[in-house]
Structure 1
Amino acid sequence: MLPILNANDAAQAETLDAGARIHSLARMLPIGYVLVCVLYGVVAYVSMGYDDEFTNMALVEQRGLGVVSLTQAEDVHPPGQYLINWLLHALTGDWSLVRLVTALLTALSLIYATEAVRQRYGDRAAGMLFVLLCLNPAILMWCTGVRWYAYFVPVLVWLSITPQRNDWRYWAKCFGGLALLGYIGYAVFVVALPVLLLYWTGARQGIREKTVGMFWGALAGALLYAYQFHIFLTVHLQAKGSQVSSMAKSLMGFAIAQVSNQGVFPVSVPALLSASGIAGMVWLAFRADARGNLRNRYLLAYGTGSVIAIVLGIAGKFRNLVIASPWQAMWLATLRVPAQRLNAFLICFAALAGGNIWGAFNVATHQNTTKNSWDLQLPPVMAALARSNAACGGDLVVLAHDPALNWHVDQAGYPQLGPFSRQTLSGDVLNATHRCVAVVRSYAGMFDTVAIDQMYGQVNGLQRGAESRQQFGRDSNYRIKQRLDARYPEYQFDITLYHDVSGLAGLTAWQPIAQRQP
């Protein structure tokens, strides 16, 4: 005779089954770790870069180690990223290898955090953290490059795992890590208080021991950072205007970057999956155990850091919020959920995981992310230019204003006029008649409407013969983007090939920015 199960027994059996599945998946984490290293390595190595990277790369190539003193005198960032980039580029000689190193550093830090959470919170938390942290689209996008967040986030992730031993090394890690972050990015002023809260609440010490440890740690950290803090106050703080947004824009940035995810377009199915998944997980957890979940250390860090970022106005730029992503993942992965709500909780997690994985796929394939320059389909454009160069007997001049495209055209060796090009074309080249000139139109980006109109107005004044046109990278979301900026094009790149062209000397608006007279 079969046993009769009541509703509670059935629910408990389902919960046990869910728990068993989680434990089975957790045992596969070592395989996942290998795949994460492969994912980050491949995305970094094959990346053609995005706009902001090329300024860093140009400074390192042109100035060498002198880039440190230059940026200390006139930048908005501390010198850590430039020093690391110089060292890695000096060792490898290849920016693709530099990206590979930074990406693997990030991947290893994420694996370290996942394993630490597995040991302290169990398999369920580790399995969830693997998806939320290791497959986080924002981290995958911003930490496979050569800008400050590629070095800041791995250190922050390492720092966010408080030591098990509560001796002098506990506070040494805290304040030593903060000092290191301070030389990489001034986002340290956003994360310092949350980090201190993590360490204070995590220390298994009495109040007196904590206070003494923090005092000596803070004193050592202050001495290590005193000079850079002076540079921040006297030089770098003066350029803060370009980094600060309004409160409304900061709140919108937080919603897009943290409630949705940076790997998906904000008005899309995966964005809805992410938002609904987070909302469901938090609602279920707090409805069941609000008091216990409010005591979550990572919620304290995440909430405090997010509020500071919004109030300071830096949350208006999505990329800045990548520093909050590790704490968001750690908080969600360690939510306390009673057994009877576990299945519903896991359904919500599955929705969030779907949005995350979708976003990670977009990042890996360079499409539909929140970063326009990341989405640029550069390979087909470079292939089209190569075909045109061959058809024109090697006499092709390129006009383009996109930073990434300028860099790759320079690397390909085509004569080029562009604001971010490193070339200086001779008078003979500018005054000659060329068989072909390729004018590559793209999103205006940093240029205002007056500057763009002047650039293309000068192009219209060229003496030229026949022409042909190609378009690449249709943006399916361009109509929505045009509501924010009417200059967004339907296609990422529009190439017009002009034949028998003269008059390049008159294209003064296309002069490289680095060569313009003040």
Structure 2
Amino acid sequence: LASAARRARSAAPWIALAAGVAFAVAFAATRNLYDDEVASFRLATQGYAELWREANAHDVHPPGQYALGRLFLGLAGSPRRAMLGPIALLYGSLALFVAALLREGELRGGARALFAAVAVLHPQVAMWGTSLRWQPAWTALALVSLVLALGLGRRRAAHPHANDDDALVPTLPAQVGAGLALAGMLYLNYLTIPFAVALAVGVALRFGIAPARPRRVARLALPFAIAAFAFAPQLSPMWHVHMQATQAQVANRLMVLLKLVPGAVVGEPLLPFHPLAVLFAVATLPLLALLASALVRHARARGLASGPQPAWVAIAGVYAALFALALATGLGRKPRSFVVLGPLFAYLFAFAWQRVRRGALRGAVVALVAAWIATSLAHLWLRVGTSKTGFNDHYEEVVAFARSTARGRPAVFFTHDPALAFALHEHARASDDPWVACSVAPDWYHGVDCAAARGVPPRFERVFLVTGYVGSFLAQRAQLAAAIDAVGHSIDVERRGELGRDRDAAMKRRLPGALAKLTPDYRFTVFEGPPRPGFALERRAADYQALAPPPGAAPVRGDE
């Protein structure tokens, strides 16, 4: 029995990894594409040279994410199959990260399985791990750079005269690999800059960089030098183009704190006021206190200025530094930008958990973790109750309403939700329904531009007007209302439907902020009827496209 228990404990981390991959693949097959993903097709459907020039001339992001998206789309042939690329990158790196830290030997027994389960099944990882944007690939490279730059999982030199200070220092190939990973991250997103600072903190803690050891400093700085050299050609567009649009990417520190703590710790599949989210956050506090106490005792006993330090100290340094930088810079307003905090949190969480002496308390924490993960994954699968309302939308309800009304007749849709327009075109492509959808931007993937009459049928018999949450169009609310009214007055409405009930709407309206007060009970209100004589599709579509943001800024609806 003891042998079987040991085998089960050894297999548990890899069972968790397999479960994470299985959920990711299944989730990718059913989830909605969200607004940013749909917007990225503007560049990801172009040639590599063209998208590179366009991104560096007009976008707000570096071109790497679009080139990677172009690669995955070209290999897979469809957005859904293309998600397998990010999944492979992210979960492959998670396997490396988990294996390296388990090899450190700092976790024992059940803590090893707990670490692997939370790292791989963390709700934030599950939610954003299939994205066609930059997050999965960037997180994958971040985990690889952590393993290589911190020398995680390396055995100490067996030679009796080996210097302990040098036993864990990464080899030259590992340092080059870490540098290339950091360079790749820079071409995906400039959040690599604060991450590199946090990684430098981890390296300093791990190896005890001292001014008296200049050769040691130079050796450990090699990954950062390689990344800087490889990134040099991108400095000009970063400074002169991309950094000019950073204001939309930041928020005040209080707002960042309110978003980053629940988003990075609990994950966005649960709303911050969900009972399990509150309970898990509260339960994390005593574990955080245990971790802080262990760090203080370790610092008093050994100090933090001289190396080598155990892996958990370096991981704690990276986590604390990255969290602090996300807060100080205001970049933490989008927790999905810091998915890498999830696996780091998992290791620190498991390390603190194993220091709990009472078995009953450890069991209670495990039960809470199981409920937290299971509920979060259920929210993602069922598309309910997440903090990103675009993940909650049930576009199939709009499709079913339209099919029952249009009955195979040519139809045109007007919506300010580009993700809904994409979903309608996906349905039309897979069925015989002759539909076209017009939104605030062309559907680049399907080649539909209503304002330019591209991809539009010569005639249509039904018009669907879909309204809903105005979100980030709050500043353009009057302009959006005018565009909606113009379409509404151009059709003879025969049927109206309210679809996509938001069961959390009442609670959201009690939250502070102008956007929260506008949360409707239903995500979609659909008006349907035949067009009146003289209906000008291109003109009405141009009204919607006049609301489009500048290139590179997704036409989001404020459901961050």
Fold match (TM-score > 0.5): yes
- Show the counterpart of 1:400: 415
Would the alpha carbon gap of residues 441 and 394 (structure 1) be closer, same or farther in structure 2, given more than 3 Å must change? same
- Show the counterpart of 1:455: 483
- Write the distance in 2 (CA, Å) between the matches of 1:435 and 1:496: 14
Q: 3-state DSSP class of the match of 2:54?
A: helix
Is the contact made by 1:261 and 1:356 (CA closer than 8 Å) also made in structure 2? no
Please list, as runs of the form range in 1=range in 2, the aligned pairs for 1:11-26 lying within 5 A after superposition: 24-26=8-10
With 308-317 and 422-431 compared, the bigger mean Cα shift is at 422-431
Please list, as runs of the form range in 1=range in 2, the aligned pairs for 1:197-212 lying within 5 A after superposition: 197-203=201-207, 207-212=213-218
- Show the counterpart of 1:418: 439
- Show the counterpart of 2:178: 174
Please list, as runs of the form range in 1=range in 2, the aligned pairs for 1:178-197 lying within 5 A after superposition: 178-197=182-201
- How much has 1:28 moved relative to structure 2? 3.0
| RMSD of equivalent CA atoms | 3.2
- Show the counterpart of 2:528: 497
- Write the distance in 1 (CA, Å) between the matches of 2:103 and 2:454: 68
Is the contact made by 1:369 and 1:375 (CA closer than 8 Å) also made in structure 2? yes
Is the contact made by 2:505 and 2:519 (CA closer than 8 Å) also made in structure 1? yes
- How much has 1:369 moved relative to structure 2? 0.9
Would the alpha carbon gap of residues 368 and 171 (structure 1) be closer, same or farther in structure 2, given more than 3 Å must change? same
Letter paired with 1:129: F
Please list, as runs of the form range in 1=range in 2, the aligned pairs for 1:270-419 lying within 5 A after superposition: 270-286=276-292, 290-292=296-298, 296-335=313-352, 337-338=354-355, 340-341=357-358, 343-390=360-407, 393-411=408-426, 412=428, 413-419=434-440
- How much has 1:378 moved relative to structure 2? 1.4
- How much has 1:342 moved relative to structure 2? 5.2
- Show the counterpart of 1:128: 114
User: Which residue among 40, 45, 48 is the counterpart of 1:61?
Assistant: 45
Please list, as runs of the form range in 1=range in 2, the aligned pairs for 1:39-58 lying within 5 A after superposition: 39-58=23-42
- Write the distance in 2 (CA, Å) between the matches of 1:328 and 1:517: 36
Is the contact made by 2:466 and 2:527 (CA closer than 8 Å) also made in structure 1? yes
Which structure has more helix as a fraction of its residues?
1
User: Deviations for 1:129-156, whole angstroms, at most 9, x for unmatched residues?
Assistant: 2222111111111120111112101111
Is the contact made by 1:281 and 1:345 (CA closer than 8 Å) also made in structure 2? no
Q: Does 1:110 align with 2:94?
A: yes
- Write the distance in 1 (CA, Å) between the matches of 2:457 and 2:218: 73
- How much has 1:346 moved relative to structure 2? 4.4
User: Deviations for 1:20-55, whole angstroms, at most 9, x for unmatched residues?
Assistant: 979844433333322222111111233330111011
Is the contact made by 1:40 and 1:103 (CA closer than 8 Å) also made in structure 2? yes
User: Which residue among 53, 59, 63 is the counterpart of 1:75?
Assistant: 59
- Write the distance in 1 (CA, Å) between the matches of 2:356 and 2:316: 21
Would the alpha carbon gap of residues 215 and 30 (structure 1) be closer, same or farther in structure 2, given more than 3 Å must change? closer
Letter paired with 1:263: P
Q: Does 1:512 align with 2:545?
A: yes
- Write the distance in 2 (CA, Å) between the matches of 1:31 and 1:338: 24
- Write the distance in 2 (CA, Å) between the matches of 1:130 and 1:71: 37
- How much has 1:490 moved relative to structure 2? 0.8
- Write the distance in 1 (CA, Å) between the matches of 2:296 and 2:208: 24
Is the contact made by 2:465 and 2:484 (CA closer than 8 Å) also made in structure 1? no
- Show the counterpart of 2:507: 480
Unmatched 5+ stretches in structure 2: 155-167, 305-311, 429-433, 443-447, 552-560
Would the alpha carbon gap of residues 425 and 212 (structure 1) be closer, same or farther in structure 2, given more than 3 Å must change? closer
- How much has 1:352 moved relative to structure 2? 3.6
Is the contact made by 2:483 and 2:540 (CA closer than 8 Å) also made in structure 1? yes
- Write the distance in 1 (CA, Å) between the matches of 2:499 and 2:23: 26
- How much has 1:275 moved relative to structure 2? 0.6
- How much has 1:254 moved relative to structure 2? 1.7
User: Deviations for 1:219-257, whole angstroms, at most 9, x for unmatched residues?
Assistant: 333211111123212221111111011112111112221
- How much has 1:74 moved relative to structure 2? 1.4
- Write the distance in 1 (CA, Å) between the matches of 2:359 and 2:68: 44
Is the contact made by 2:451 and 2:542 (CA closer than 8 Å) also made in structure 1? no
Q: Which has the higher contact order (CA 8 A, sep 6+)?
A: 2
Would the alpha carbon gap of residues 106 and 338 (structure 1) be closer, same or farther in structure 2, given more than 3 Å must change? closer
Q: 3-state DSSP class of the match of 1:210?
A: helix
Is the contact made by 2:469 and 2:518 (CA closer than 8 Å) also made in structure 1? yes
Would the alpha carbon gap of residues 190 and 26 (structure 1) be closer, same or farther in structure 2, given more than 3 Å must change? same
* Identity across the alignment (%): 20
Letter paired with 1:438: F
Q: 3-state DSSP class of the match of 1:340?
A: coil
- How much has 1:313 moved relative to structure 2? 0.5
With 117-126 and 270-279 compared, the bigger mean Cα shift is at 117-126
User: Deviations for 1:332-359, whole angstroms, at most 9, x for unmatched residues?
Assistant: 2233744634542442343244223321
- Write the distance in 2 (CA, Å) between the matches of 1:62 and 1:382: 29
Would the alpha carbon gap of residues 336 and 373 (structure 1) be closer, same or farther in structure 2, given more than 3 Å must change? closer
Letter paired with 2:504: N
Letter paired with 2:465: V
- Write the distance in 1 (CA, Å) between the matches of 2:100 and 2:379: 29
Letter paired with 1:404: A
- How much has 1:474 moved relative to structure 2? 1.0
